[in-house]
Amino acid sequence: MIQKTAMKSATIASLFGAALLAGAAAIALPEAARADTRVTLKSATSSSSYYVMIVQIGEALKEATGGKIQATIEESQGSVQNVKEAARRPGNFVFTTPPSLLKQAQAGQKPFEGETGYDKVRALFVMPFVTIHLVVRADSGVAGAADLAGKDFIGGGKGTFCEGRTKTVLKLLGLEGKVNLVDVELASADAAVKNRKVAGYATCSSHPTPQVQELATTTAIRIISFTPDQLSTIIAQDASSGPVTIKAGTYKGLDQDVQTVGVPVGAYATTNMDDETAYQITKAFWSKRAEMAKTNPWWNGINPDMVAQLGSKLHPGAARYYKEAGIKLPESMM
């Protein structure tokens, strides 16, 4: 009995040792031999159109690469958070931001004073433009931008690109200090409008944005349209901005075109990402763009030539894709 027990124990020990060796061998496999590559995609709050976009991109990457690239989707409070995290995040981190904000970070301007690491950011592809929405209740008495004077208004998510952009627009239109900017997170903005706590709010996302679509189904709203002179004033102060038209019917109750401004947006990674992964991500994105547009038309508004507007060096892997695809981009981006 003792001998059998000893033999049984030896057998178990042998099997256990073999399992440990097998496990160690699996752990020791090089990255290239693993079944998939993990990529983190970070864009915006779950109520924004950019979150919907980033989810689509994650699905497109998986489909285009046969599952070799697997995406983890992370919600974000906005582009400022995205850029700040890019300087610290390791590995395959993909995020979205307007190029102008990235330039501020690289120059050490507010809100990036004293921070480093932004020189390693590299462009991958262009996203649909940010559209500035100044949304108000239809019965708020606000017909144009000047009517915001004296009104309670949420200027965008606290500390976000949108908040900064809204303040800049108000300043350029002579409304600085005249609008009562309420410090409320954008996630609470719809409720504040519905409960008549504020006249409206600013949101910066590609249109149509889910947050405004949802609000419009329960509350009569208006989106402020800028006059030609106001548009000229805003665009003259920011060469990266351009006029954008939100067509009538885009949102429930919107019966006239809205003239507003938009800002380019790009998808970026850092030099922490290897060239092959950046190449595959960029290739997968453009190969699936038309298919994604069948679900969300905003993808029809971009093309590879627009990558030149990102004003940042391309990731070497992305540069390889554009060269193979015959897309001519400025040498300064290579």
Locate the domains of the chain by residue range.
Answer: 35-128+265-333, 130-263
Q: Would you say residue 9 has pLDDT above 50? A: no
* Strand bridging mode 93-97 / 37-42: parallel
What's the number of CA atoms in the CB half-sphere (13 Å) around residue 221? 30
Q: Would you say residue 12 has pLDDT above 50? A: no
Q: Assign domain 130-263 to its CATH architecture.
A: 3-Layer(aba) Sandwich (3.40)
The 3-class secondary structure across 58-88, one letter per residue, is HHHHHHHCCCCEEEEEECCCCHHHHHHHHCC
Q: In degrees rounded to 5, what are phi and psi of residue 274?
A: -75, 160
Per-residue pLDDT tens over the stretch 133-164: 999 999 999 999 999 999 999 999 888 889 98
Could you check whether 35-128+265-333 and 130-263 share the same CATH topology? yes
Per-residue pLDDT tens over the stretch 93-131: 999 999 989 999 999 999 999 999 999 999 999 999 889
Q: Look at the domain 35-128+265-333 and name its fold.
A: D-Maltodextrin-Binding Protein; domain 2 (3.40.190)
